Amino acid sequence: MTHTFLARAGVPALALAVGLTLAACGADDGTGHDMADMGGASSSPDAPSDTATDAPFNAADVMFAQMMLPHHEQAIEMSDALLAKDGVSPELVDLAERIKAAQGPEIDTLTAWLGDWGADPEAGAGMGHDEHGMAGMMSAEDMQALEDATGADAERLFLEQMVAHHEGAVEMAQTEVSGGEHAGAVEMAQSVVDTQTAEIQQMRDLLASR
**Across 44-62, average pLDDT:** 65
Q: Judge whether residue 124 has pLDDT over 90.
A: no
Residue 68 · residue 169 · CB < 8 Å: yes
pLDDT at 200: 98
Please, what is the end-to-end C-alpha distance for the chain in angstroms?
21
Of 198 and 31, which is predicted with more confidence?
198
Domains observed in the chain: 59-125+134-210 (1.20.1260.10)
**Buried-state track 7-27, b at ≥16 Cβ within 10 A, e below 16:** ebeebeebeebbeebbeebee
What's the confidence (pLDDT) of residue 123?
A: 85
Amino acid, res. 43: S
Q: What percent of the chain has pLDDT over 70?
A: 71
The dihedral of CA 50, 56, 62, 68: what is its sign? negative
Question: Which of 28-37, 69-78, 115-124 is most confident?
Answer: 69-78
Chain centroid, CA 92 distance in Å:
22
Q: Give this prediction's pTM.
A: 0.73
Q: What angle do CA 102, 75, 203 make, to 5 degrees?
A: 80
Q: How many CB atoms lie within 10 A of CB 143?
A: 17
pLDDT on residue 135: 86
Taking 60 as the threshold, does the pLDDT of residue 90 lie above it?
A: yes
pLDDT at 82 over 90: yes
Separation between Cα atoms, residue 108 and residue 13, nearest integer Å: 25
pLDDT tens digits for range 8-22: 333 333 343 444 344
Please give the share of the chain, as a percent, with pLDDT higher than 90. 66
Give the three-state DSSP class for 34: strand
> How crowded is the C-beta side of 45, counted as CA atoms within 13 Å?
8
Q: b vs e for 103-133, b when ≥16 Cβ sit within 10 Å of the residue's Cβ?
A: beebbeebeebbebbebbbebbeebbbeebb
Which pLDDT score, from 0 to 100, does residue 10 have? 39
Q: Name residue 34's beta-bridge partners.
A: 28
More confident: 35 or 81: 81
Residue 173 confidence (pLDDT) above 60: yes
Instruction: Give me the pLDDT at residue 39, please.
Output: 35
Rounded to the nearest integer, the mean pLDDT of the chain is 80
Across 48-52, 158-162, 177-181, 193-197, least confident range: 48-52
Most distant CA atoms of the chain, gap in Å: 66
Residue 58 φ/ψ region, left for φ over 0, alpha for ψ in the -120 to 50 degree band, beta for the rest:
beta
pLDDT band at 133 (very low <50, low <70, confident <90, very high): low
* pLDDT given for residue 127 in this prediction: 60
Examine the pLDDT at 144 and tell me if it is beyond 70. yes
